[in-house]
Structure 1
Amino acid sequence: MSSSQHPPITSTELATLWMTYQEKTMIMRFLEYFLKHNKNEQQLFQLHYDRAIKSVDFIKTIFQDEGAAIPIGFTENDVNKEAPKLYDYMFDVMYFRLMSQIETGLFALYSNMSYRKDIRRFFKDVTAEAQELYDESTHLLEETGVISRPPYVSMPKEVHFVKDKNYMDGLKWIGEKRSLNTMEVSLIQHAVDTNLVGMQLMIGFAQVANDQKVRNHFVKGMELSKKIETELGDVLRHSYIEPPATHAGKATTSTIAPFSDKLMMYNTSLLSTFGLGSNALGGAFSLRSDLPVKMLQLGKDIYSFAKEGGEIMIKNGWMEEPPQIEDRNQLTKR
Structure 2
Amino acid sequence: MPESPKISSSEIGVLWITYQQNTMILRMLEYFIEHADDDQAKQILVDVYEDIKPYATKIENIFQTEGAAIPVGFKADDVNIGAPKLFDNGFDILFIRLMKEISMGMHTLNLNMCYRPDIVMMMRELTNITQRCYDKCTEYLLEKGILTRSPYVQIPKNVEFVQEVGYLSGFNLFKEKRPLNVVETAHLHHTIESNMVGMQLILGFSQCANEKEVKQYLGEGAAISKEIIKTISNILLDSSLQVPSTPGGNVTGSTVPPFSDKMMMYCVSLFCSFAIGGSSLGTAFSQRNDLVEKITKIMQDIFAYAHKGAKLMIQHGWLEEPPQTKNNKKSPK
User: Which band: TM-score by shorter chain?
Assistant: over 0.9
Q: Deviations over 1:119-139 (max 9, x none)?
A: 111111111111111100000
Q: State whether structure 2 residue 4 is matched by structure 1 residue 6.
A: yes
Q: Which residue of 1 aligns with 2:243?
A: 243
Deviation at 1:96, TM superposition (A): 0.5
Structure-1 separation of matches of 2:17 and 2:163: 46
Q: Which residue of 1 aligns with 2:211?
A: 211
Q: Deviations over 1:180-205 (max 9, x none)?
A: 00000000000000000000001000
Q: Provide structure 2 residue ranges, at least 5 long, that are not aligned to the other structure.
A: none
Residues 74, 263 of structure 2: 8 Å contact kept: yes
SS in 2 for 1:329: coil
Q: How many residues align?
A: 330
Deviation at 1:333, TM superposition (A): 7.0
Q: Deviations over 1:231-274 (max 9, x none)?
A: 00110010111111022111111100000000000000000000
Residues 87, 250 of structure 2: 8 Å contact kept: yes
Q: State whether structure 2 residue 304 is matched by structure 1 residue 307.
A: no
1:157-236 matches, cutoff 5 A: 157-236=157-236
Q: State whether structure 2 residue 19 is matched by structure 1 residue 26.
A: no
Residues 148, 244 of structure 1: 8 Å contact kept: yes
Structure-1 separation of matches of 2:142 and 2:43: 18
Q: State whether structure 2 residue 138 is matched by structure 1 residue 138.
A: yes
Q: Which residue of 1 aligns with 2:112?
A: 112
SS in 2 for 1:80: coil
Structure-2 separation of matches of 1:300 and 1:117: 39
1:62-141 matches, cutoff 5 A: 62-141=62-141
Structure-1 separation of matches of 2:213 and 2:155: 51
Structure-2 separation of matches of 1:157 and 1:264: 48
Q: Provide structure 1 residue ranges, at least 5 long, that are not aligned to the other structure.
A: none
Structure-1 separation of matches of 2:53 and 2:332: 43
Q: Deviations over 1:147-182 (max 9, x none)?
A: 111112222222111111110011122221000000
Structure-2 separation of matches of 1:166 and 1:226: 31
Which is further off, 173-182 or 39-48? 39-48
SS in 1 for 2:121: helix
Residues 193, 246 of structure 2: 8 Å contact kept: no
Q: State whether structure 2 residue 35 is matched by structure 1 residue 37.
A: yes
Computed over aligned residues only, the root mean square deviation of the Cα atoms, in angstroms, reads 1.3
Structure-2 separation of matches of 1:162 and 1:212: 54
Q: Which residue of 2 aligns with 1:148?
A: 148
